[in-house]
Amino acid sequence: MLPVLYRQGLRVHYPSQTAAPSRGFPDFLLRAPAANAADPESSSTTEISDSDDEEDTTNQAAPTASPAASETVQPAQPAPHASPHISRTVPQLEAQETSEFAAPVVAPVSDLSPHTEEGEGDICAICFEPWTTAGDHRPSALRCGHLFGFTCIQRWIKSAGTAAKCPQCNKKAKRSDIVKLYVTRLRALDNSEQESLKRALEHEQSLRRKAELESAQDKLRLQVVTNQCGQMQKELQELRSLMSQTGRSSISSASSSSSSSSLLPGPSQRADGSRAGQYGFSKAVLMSQTGGCRVLAYCEPLSCLLASQPSPHSTLVPGCGVKKMSVVNMKASQYVPIHSKQIRGLSFNRQNDSLLLSAALDNTIKLTSLLTNTVVQTYNTGRPVWSCCWCLDNSNYVYAGLINGSVLVYDTRDTSTHIQELQPLRSRCPVASLCYVPRAASSSFPCGGLIAGSLEGGCFWEQVNETTYRPHILPLETSGCTDIQVESETRHCLITYRPGEGRGYSCTCTLMLK
């Protein structure tokens, strides 16, 4: 038997090589103080082994039990079935061995929950078994997007037949909708919060763009209003200076003519005894170098006259339009293109919305905003239009006099076609002029209606209701009438004739009675 020498070591021998070590120290552990008392100078332990198993255990435990061992002697072959002997140890190694053989630490349930949650997306919703990367139970998707095992969803659809539905969303499904997914690992990322934030961002961006657009529009409106305000202030100053100049000259002329005018009532006196104004030529304004101006209209909200004329730049902007002229300084300002052919009629309503109604030979009547100088509505008449006017009792209706003598009634809210046609009573001469008389304009002539003038005379269409018109032939000359205008309060009608045999241009003032 050969002794085995260890320093600061601990050895435990087991009867056989297959015996498992104990989780704690054995009960037969001999403490170091007894050995120290027998041999105070020695710091090692001598042990005799009687079995081959002890030798194998010694060879395996020596490096781990005592890392600081300085020398080792191989023992002789001992006899089998020898009882184990315990070597001397130190208190520090007891603590080390206790920590090595301590009970295993069990992880809390909270640490395993993420794996459990991840596993929920790896199982089939029909059989609750995990998917496989190959074989018949690989993940497969329907058209709706839900995932199942291939064999499970195939049997599910086959058993349901033509009424098969998705097990999760109940959408119709069929066998051809099954698509195999070739993936090694499938995991769905929860991006619902990201998508909601993206939608919120897009909503905020749309609101911001809308706010920026409204801000730009408001700035443009402010600029337009500022320019109009400056222009009106300038025109007001010019008007005040003009009024101050004309006021001084009128005082001298009125004093000189007061004696003669007070003796006899001349044409300057009205029928009710009130005096009329004195008119005289003031100034001539050139509207077009090439001519072609045909009709005039006055826009009260903008204090300007409109004259129809051909385009001054026919090569760039062909057609016809109107030119504005301020009545404050009597200066022509700008040209507004409207029609493609000659304009035959212009009219304004009483709404003060600066909408101009125009009629032309291009088979159309149009509504043009003078605030923006753009055409806002077009009505196709099918024939050349010679005249037009507004209904002063209802601004939603307009009238168009055609070349065949008919008068078409339009509703501005319906651009498809006219709502009524007034057929001529006499020959089909072009309607040269239209003028509307409002209802109850005078106690002696309370009825309202439309006066249509042609080359063969005039006709008054009395408006009984919104859809019924009663015609009345006016006692006028039967040739050469070019225009009829009515002053509704005094019931005076001004008729213009073209030159005829033995006469030039002439005007007739007629008093209309019921």
Domains contained in the chain, number: 3
Q: Please check whether residue 491 lies inside any domain of the structure.
A: yes
pLDDT, position 259: 42
Confidence of residue 456 (pLDDT cuts 50, 70, 90): confident
Q: What's 405's domain CATH number?
A: 2.130.10.10
Q: How many CB atoms lie within 10 A of CB 274?
A: 7
Q: Please check whether residue 192 lies inside any domain of the structure.
A: no
pLDDT higher than 90, residue 367: yes
Q: Please check whether residue 125 lies inside any domain of the structure.
A: yes
For 492-502, what is the mean pLDDT?
Answer: 77
Q: Quick one: 473 and 501 in the same domain? A: yes
Distance CA 80, CA 87 (A): 19
pLDDT higher than 60, residue 404: yes
pLDDT, position 365: 94
In eight-state DSSP terms, residue 259 is H
Q: Quick one: 434 and 503 in the same domain? A: yes
Q: Quick one: 490 and 407 in the same domain? A: yes
Q: Quick one: 386 and 506 in the same domain? A: yes
Is residue 11 within 8 Å of residue 58, measured between CB atoms?
yes
Q: Quick one: 42 and 10 in the same domain? A: yes
Identify which has the larger pLDDT, 375 or 39.
Answer: 375
Confidence of residue 354 (pLDDT cuts 50, 70, 90): confident
Q: Quick one: 389 and 499 in the same domain? A: yes
Q: Please check whether residue 51 lies inside any domain of the structure.
A: yes
Is residue 10 within 8 Å of residue 98, measured between CB atoms?
no
Is residue 131 within 8 Å of residue 186, measured between CB atoms?
yes
**Nearest residue to 465 (alpha-carbon basis) of 397, 400, 417:** 397
Distance CA 297, CA 267 (A): 26
Q: Quick one: 408 and 499 in the same domain? A: yes
End residue of a domain, out of 180, 198, 217 = 180
pLDDT, position 292: 83
Per-residue pLDDT of 177-233, as tens digits, reads: 898 888 777 666 677 888 899 999 999 999 999 999 999 999 999 999 999 999 889
**Nearest residue to 359 (alpha-carbon basis) of 408, 396, 419, 288:** 408
pLDDT, position 65: 40
Is residue 349 within 8 Å of residue 395, measured between CB atoms?
yes
Q: Please check whether residue 272 lies inside any domain of the structure.
A: no
pLDDT higher than 70, residue 41: no
End residue of a domain, out of 152, 180, 208 = 180
In eight-state DSSP terms, residue 177 is G
Is residue 287 within 8 Å of residue 331, measured between CB atoms?
no
Q: Please check whether residue 240 lies inside any domain of the structure.
A: no
Backbone angle region of 46, left / alpha / beta, with phi > 0 → left and psi within -120 to 50 → alpha: beta
Confidence of residue 322 (pLDDT cuts 50, 70, 90): very high
End residue of a domain, out of 100, 124, 157 = 100
Confidence of residue 392 (pLDDT cuts 50, 70, 90): confident
Q: What percent of the chain is helix, strand and coil (3-state, nearest 5)? A: 25, 25, 45
Confidence of residue 507 (pLDDT cuts 50, 70, 90): low
Is residue 437 within 8 Å of residue 448, measured between CB atoms?
yes
Q: Quick one: 92 and 169 in the same domain? A: no
Distance CA 488, CA 478 (A): 24
Residue with the two structure tokens 């001519």: 291
Residue with the two structure tokens 């005289």: 280
Distance CA 246, CA 254 (A): 12
pLDDT, position 327: 83
Is residue 444 within 8 Å of residue 430, measured between CB atoms?
no
Q: Quick one: 459 and 504 in the same domain? A: yes
Distance CA 277, CA 246 (A): 13
**Nearest residue to 433 (alpha-carbon basis) of 495, 378, 511:** 495
pLDDT, position 216: 92
Distance CA 70, CA 54 (A): 21
Q: What's 145's domain CATH number?
A: 3.30.40.10
Identify which has the larger pLDDT, 254 or 172.
Answer: 172
Per-residue pLDDT of 121-155, as tens digits, reads: 678 889 988 888 888 888 899 989 898 999 999 99
Residue type, 20: A
Q: Which residues span the domain enclosing 75? A: 4-100
For 225-242, what is the mean pLDDT?
Answer: 88
Please, what is the average pLDDT of the chain?
A: 73
- Structure tokens, 432: 């040269």
Order of strands, sheet of 407-411, starting from the edge strand that comes earlier in the sequence? 385-390, 397-402, 407-411, 420-422
Q: Please check whether residue 369 lies inside any domain of the structure.
A: no
pLDDT, position 33: 42
pLDDT, position 243: 80
DSSP 352-376: -S-EEEEEETTSEEEEEETTTTEEE
Q: Quick one: 130 and 43 in the same domain? A: no
For 374-389, what is the mean pLDDT?
Answer: 92
Residue type, 408: L
For 153-168, what is the mean pLDDT?
Answer: 90
Q: Quick one: 24 and 54 in the same domain? A: yes
Confidence of residue 511 (pLDDT cuts 50, 70, 90): low
pLDDT, position 416: 85
E strand or H helix that includes residue 199: helix 192-261
Distance CA 403, CA 422 (A): 13
Q: Quick one: 169 and 50 in the same domain? A: no
**Nearest residue to 101 (alpha-carbon basis) of 23, 201, 188:** 23
The fraction of the chain above a pLDDT of 70, given in percent, is 65
pLDDT, position 400: 94
Question: Where would I find the H helices in 262-336?
Answer: none
pTM above 0.85, yes or no: no
Order of strands, sheet of 179-180, starting from the edge strand that comes earlier in the sequence? 147-149, 139-141, 179-180
**E strands of 113-262, at which residues?**
139-141, 147-149, 179-180
Distance CA 330, CA 284 (A): 9
Q: Please check whether residue 330 lies inside any domain of the structure.
A: no
